[in-house]
Chain A
Amino acid sequence: MSSSLIQLKNVSMKFGGVTALSDVSFDVKEKEILGLIGPNGAGKTTVFNVITGVYQITSGEIIFEGKSLSGIKRYEITRRGVARTFQSIRLWGDMTALENVITATDTHKKSGLVLGLFGFPVSRREEKRDKARAQELLDFVGIGEYSDRLAKNLPYGVQRRLEIARAMGAEPKLLLLDEPAAGFNPAEKVDLAATIRKIRDAGYTVLLIEHDMSLVMKVSDRVVVLDFGQKIADDSPGKVQDDPRVIEAYLGVPENAS
């Protein structure tokens, strides 16, 4: 069994009176695709938000590669190797697709102000390399031909894929995908599933939030289920699908419904 890349230990997140996560523990193993599912408002996006440092957790601990992430600045977390996409697309609309990705690849570089001002030949060479890398990533997710278009003018599906390429640009070990197939038709979903598997084969670890059951079950090695901020299942796709608690969570409990 391979080792964990990230571990959530008894993580709770409260917003005033709302408990978005309560005592959630799970881990993601290296090179694994872990599906994270649950009904609307279950706390899935909140998991991403606490991992990436958008919110400070109320209690518990998050360990990435053996080190705690608490109190680490957001951009530092990204530099350590966690990058995400957003459920509601948040690209930099006035930049081209390529620039969106290059900006993320800058993550691991020096700030470049002094360099940019005086170190002309060095930075020009680097610039070329970054550009080539960014183009590779666009090709990798299948939107290479859009590299010169402004992000805001791209078709919706391309924007979703660009979100993935941009996150990959930050060279993460752990890639967090928040509903990457939202709004896709079945054919596009099949396509995306292939891309996600390709991403894992390229050496990334993937934590995937997705509402489409068949997609999740098809690509995930393991599935964690959240309901009302609590973890109710953590198992292989086959077992999770048959778990009565999961079925209950998705279909509602008859006694309570009446």
Chain B
Amino acid sequence: MINLRDKGAEIWENQGRVGRVVLALCGVTVVASLPFLGGTILNTPIADYESVLVYPIAMFVLMAIGLNIVIGKSGLLDLGYVAFFAIGAYTMGLLGTKTGLNTWEILPIGIAMAMFSGIILGIPALKLRGDYLAIITLGFGEIVRIVALNLGALGRSEGILNIPTPPAIFGIEYTFDSHRIYYWTLLVLILLAIWMVRRLSARRAGRAWESIRQDEDAAELLGVPTFRYKIWAFVLGASVGGAAGVFYASKTLFIAPDNFTLQISILILACVVFGGMGNIWGVILGAVILGYLPDRIRFISDARLLVFGLVLVIMMNLRPDGLLPRKKREKTIDKKDAT
């Protein structure tokens, strides 16, 4: 277990360009074929296996990747991540039912809305020290839910019904129960998010975030515009949350304030912490395990939040780096560049 990360990194680094492409393709193929394994030991007794793959698993993975930019990369404890998910979902709900726009057209709008609220929240909150940020974001997550619960335009506690499914794309139809199609679409979104995070954290932005996470004052005194980078991290995280929200609404066809409680924020936090803050593969693994287990093991299903709370306490005390620790780079960022 301890060397899982290093082993993986070693295999990857020892491959040439072709080897890496082959490995990546194999990985994607295996993951993409998961919906066909419903009859095997993987099956979930509690909910329909294929729908579990979509929600919680893939959806958690996507959100965990987004939250990881905020917590793992730049060390900002955002406890209101569900707000961005909710904003994406309500954007989809409102525009999808009130205008003729379809899911693909709403997706960028939902992302933009989430990013915008990220800026609105970030500007006051990111001036403050870490623990105050936590409590402000915590409050913000609740506020968004309370607003949804009390505004007539957002349907109050009934929420929004009859949200349209995405229209067919490349001849692929989305119907209410075609879970696989949704799963594969989410997979594409996840791959995009991974690409974005990896691309960004390899270079300048990644270093700036890393320096902020480790010693923010020192970073600022050495010329890193810390506030700007923190806002960026926040907003990028929000964009991923917003995308997840739009897609979630378009999948469940019905949203209500109860879908967006504080608990979701904590669940995603648990995924990030469990897998390994700052390590994108760890975070994905964490989200897969914590998304899957409650639907596989009945005992956990009844007390899933309890289990997640325990995960937070135990991991922080015994293995704060998570299953797959943050990359401990003994070599420079990109070995090949140095030669």
Is A117 within 8 A of B199, CB to CB? yes
Number of A-B residue pairs, CB cutoff 8 Å, is 118
A243 at the interface (CB under 8 A from B): no
Chain A contacts of B225 at CB under 8 A?
73, 75, 111
Binary per-residue interface labels of chain A (62-81) against chain B in the complex, 1 for a CB within 8 Å, 0 otherwise? 00000000000111001100
Number of interface residues of B (CB under 8 A): 37
Please state if A107 and B224 are interface contacts (CB–CB under 8 Å).
yes
B131 proximal to A (CB < 8 A): no
How far apart are B281's CB and chain A's nearest CB, in angstroms? 18
Task: Tell me the nearest residue of chain A to B232, going by C-beta.
Answer: A113
Nearest CB in chain B to that of A116: its residue:
B203
A92 touching B221, Cβ below 8 Å: no
Cβ contacts under 8 Å, A52 to chain B: 221
Which listed residue, B218, B228, B334, touches A90 by the CB 8 Å rule? B218
**A169-206 toward B: CB 8 Å interface, digit per residue (1/0)?**
11000000000000000000000000000000000000
Question: Interface residues of A, CB < 8 Å — how many?
Answer: 45
Asked if A147 contacts B196 (CB within 8 A), the reply is no
Please give me the residue from chain B that is nearest to A128 by CB atom.
B337
Question: Is B223 interfacial (CB-CB < 8 Å)?
Answer: yes
Q: Which of B53-61, B303-311, B323-331 contacts A (4 or more CB under 8 A)?
A: B323-331
Stretch of A3-11, A97-105, A208-216, A250-258 that contacts chain B: A97-105
Interface residues of B in 164-223 (CB under 8 A from A): 196, 199-200, 202-208, 210-211, 214-215, 217-223
User: B214 to chain A: which residues have CB within 8 Å?
Assistant: 92-95
Bound Cα distance A78, B226 (Å): 13
Closest A residue by C-beta to B215: A90
**CB pair B228 A111 closer than 8 Å:** yes
Question: At the interface, yes or no: B18 with Cβ under 8 Å from chain A?
Answer: no
* B interface footprint on A114-132 (CB within 8 Å = 1, 0 otherwise): 0111000001100110010
A234 to chain B, nearest CB (A): 26
Instruction: Give the interface of B toward A (CB within 8 A).
Output: 196, 199-200, 202-208, 210-211, 214-215, 217-226, 228-229, 232, 326, 328-334, 337-338
13 contacts between A and B (CB under 8 A): A74-B220, A75-B226, A94-B210, A103-B224, A106-B208, A111-B208, A112-B204, A112-B205, A116-B202, A116-B206, A123-B204, A127-B204, A166-B222
